[in-house]
Structure 1
Amino acid sequence: MSDDKLAKLLAQIQQQQAQLQNRLDTEQQSLSQLAKRLWAQQESEKARLSRELHDGVGQLLTGLTRRLQGLSKQYSELDELVELSELALADVRQLSRLMSPTILDDLGLVPALKWLSRSLFSHEDIEVELQLDNDVTANHEINILVYRIVQESFVNIVKHANATKVMLLLSSHHQTLRLDVVDNGDGFDNNCITQGIGLNSMQDRARAFDAELTIKSTPNKGTRITLTVCK
């Protein structure tokens, strides 16, 4: 084969590679946009269910609680039912807030993370340290991403980690936001991190927003989850 034919063949191969790369980039962008729309739809559905809990079940329990409170003044044996009704109402309200954190829209990311920490760890024997940059600002989608990553991390810690201390760090530098969730719990084998539904969900969310999520853990030495995303 002559040098000219070889050069043309190489040029054709390079052109085909460039076309394939463009197609892959376009498809990747389309998949990312689809993933974002799916997450947005999921958040919208959670908000709808949250409103139904608050406006439907919550209001019914509020009416029941007030009725029982009135009757308990005459019948002391109803005191236990009043207490149960109040506990059920409190659980419904907390579930409603966890499903759709309106505080995120009302007060912003940092207050929402503080509230989440109090809600999930208030009855746990776990020391919580928060290092949150109050000047962190991001758009609504990124706020939701960060909030859900923290929520999933905290739930995993409460359920599985057997930790005695948790650190939540949030900071920003120029257009980059960084989140770290660190615990001193049982840890796990990093080779198994893709097996958990919760961890997979965090990875999927991060990829949809072109964010970098790393999970580092060692058995008996705790876990660090780090999210880095452009604001």
Structure 2
Amino acid sequence: MPPMTKAWVWAGGASYLLVVGLLVGAAPRASGTVHGVGALLAVSLLAGMVRRMPVPALAMALIGSTLVVAGPPSHQESLAASYQGQFLSYVAADFVLGFVVATCARRASIVAVALSAVVQLLVIGVFAQGENLAVNTIVGLLALTACCTTGLLSRERREHAVALRKREVAEAVTAERLRIARELHDMVAHSIGVIAIQAGMGNRVIQTQPAQAREALRAIEDTSRETLSGLRRTLVSLRQADRDAALPEEQPPLTPSPGLADVERLAAATAGAGVSVDVRCTGDRRPVPADIDLSAYRIVQEALTNVVRHANTGRCRVTIQYGDEELSVEVVDDGDGATGNGSAQGFGIVGMRERVALLGGDLTAGSCPEGGFRVAARLPLPTSVEPLVGAR
């Protein structure tokens, strides 16, 4: 706490005690109710201390309230009525106690409640008169309980809000981790599969067909550069939260995220790995939102990766259909089907299902009756497609 703020806080506490002293000493003939209400209003001087030092503020409120009760009773009313009015001053201490319960640690709150209850019961027991003892005790305990209950409810509501916030943060972190995992899997798995096949082919023909080996090495180089570019784009997007890490002019330009416009290039890379891809587009071909465009591309990419790695076939078909309300993507091969595909053992189809679910679509993946494997995704399109793919 800054020294100036601390000084103002203690000045407020001193002012409270001064006002209470004036109420007791300067107006001895006033009624007990006037003293009690005055002490209740004077506790507003402790507002700064209550916010920053609630426990010392409670101690001051108890001292001030006790001074009011212990002061000389009014001569204009009966002794019992005078003390009943003076007991109102403890409501101020109860308000401060409720704040302590709402904001302080549980152990400190328990000690504060016990201390406040003991002080009030002792003072009431000493100054209450005859049959009014039971009434004053009950009213005092009810006031203390009401303020403590209010503070406890406020505390539980705040703790619940904090727990919800932590859960939201944890869910956001988990969702981001899954997104990164999908991106890395879809991007790296396809490229590594192509590189492995091209490297194996180049190794077999490097002595007998050097020209074909050079083509395989060129394909490996192109695929590696594309993968490095995608990894760099992913890493830069992860660092965008810390914008002070580098000035905009120090950041090199980024290549745009891939989309359906890059499916032909993806098909060519897959053909270089030994699988001929027949790409067919139907419907009104048009720009789609960036998230749908990227997800559709990644679904095609992962499906082609599974064909290259598991299908044991030399051809497959990719069909992209632009409908009025949805975008459909289908990848079909005539290979070994689910038995040879093996994709259920990895994260490929899991990642595709997650992508489709996030966009509100559905995905089917399984063996075809006539043989082979089929992956089909339907992605709903917004009623008005405004964002252009090239605007990413």
TM category (shorter chain) comes to 0.5 to 0.7
Partner of 1:146: 296
| TM-score normalised by structure 2 residue count | 0.35
Deviations 1:150-175 (A, max 9, x none): 11111111011012221000011112
Alpha-carbon distance in structure 2 between the residues aligned to 1:42 and 1:230: 23
Partner of 1:21: none
2:349 aligns with one of 199, 202, 213: 199
Residues 204 and 35 of structure 1, relative CA distance in 2, 3 Å threshold: farther
1:127 aligns with one of 263, 266, 276: 276
Report if aligned partners of 1:131, 1:168 keep a CA contact under 8 Å in 2.
yes
1:96 paired to 2:228: yes
1:42 aligns with one of 180, 183, 192: 180
Residues 173 and 204 of structure 1, relative CA distance in 2, 3 Å threshold: same
Give every structure 1 segment of 4 or more consecutive aligned residues whose post-TM-superposition deviation is greater than 6 Å.
none
Deviations 1:163-213 (A, max 9, x none): 222100001111210000010010015xx8744321111112211221100
Partner of 1:181: 331
Alpha-carbon distance in structure 2 between the residues aligned to 1:208 and 1:137: 20
Alpha-carbon distance in structure 1 between the residues aligned to 2:366 and 2:338: 9
Report if aligned partners of 1:186, 1:219 keep a CA contact under 8 Å in 2.
no
The unaligned stretches of length 5 or more in structure 2 are 1-167, 189-213, 235-253, 382-392
Residues 181 and 90 of structure 1, relative CA distance in 2, 3 Å threshold: closer
Report if aligned partners of 1:128, 1:166 keep a CA contact under 8 Å in 2.
yes
RMSD: 3.8
Alpha-carbon distance in structure 2 between the residues aligned to 1:36 and 1:175: 30
Report if aligned partners of 1:185, 1:223 keep a CA contact under 8 Å in 2.
yes
1:98 is displaced (CA, Å) by 5.5
Residues 206 and 110 of structure 1, relative CA distance in 2, 3 Å threshold: closer
Residues 35 and 188 of structure 1, relative CA distance in 2, 3 Å threshold: farther
Higher relative contact order (CA closer than 8 Å, sequence separation 6+): 1
Residues 89 and 136 of structure 1, relative CA distance in 2, 3 Å threshold: same
Alpha-carbon distance in structure 2 between the residues aligned to 1:104 and 1:225: 26
1:111 aligns with one of 261, 267, 273: 261
Structure 1 residue matching 2:338: 3-state secondary structure: coil
Structure 1 residue matching 2:316: 3-state secondary structure: strand
Report if aligned partners of 1:166, 1:183 keep a CA contact under 8 Å in 2.
yes
Aligned sequence identity (%):
22
Residues 157 and 176 of structure 1, relative CA distance in 2, 3 Å threshold: same
How many residues align? The count is: 160
Larger Rg: 2
Alpha-carbon distance in structure 1 between the residues aligned to 2:285 and 2:262: 14
Alpha-carbon distance in structure 2 between the residues aligned to 1:39 and 1:150: 22
Residues 41 and 115 of structure 1, relative CA distance in 2, 3 Å threshold: same
Deviations 1:110-131 (A, max 9, x none): 431111111122231x332110
Report if aligned partners of 1:35, 1:208 keep a CA contact under 8 Å in 2.
no
Residues 35 and 159 of structure 1, relative CA distance in 2, 3 Å threshold: farther
1:229 is displaced (CA, Å) by 0.8
Structure 2 residue matching 1:188: 3-state secondary structure: helix
Structure 2 residue matching 1:136: 3-state secondary structure: coil
Q: 1:128 corresponds to which letter in structure 2?
A: V
Report if aligned partners of 1:186, 1:222 keep a CA contact under 8 Å in 2.
yes
Residues 116 and 39 of structure 1, relative CA distance in 2, 3 Å threshold: farther
Q: 1:129 corresponds to which letter in structure 2?
A: D
1:163 paired to 2:313: yes
Deviations 1:58-112 (A, max 9, x none): xxxxxxxxxxxxxxxxxxxxxxxxx8xx85754531322565697765xx73431
Alpha-carbon distance in structure 2 between the residues aligned to 1:116 and 1:150: 9
| TM-score normalised by structure 1 residue count | 0.56
Report if aligned partners of 1:169, 1:179 keep a CA contact under 8 Å in 2.
yes
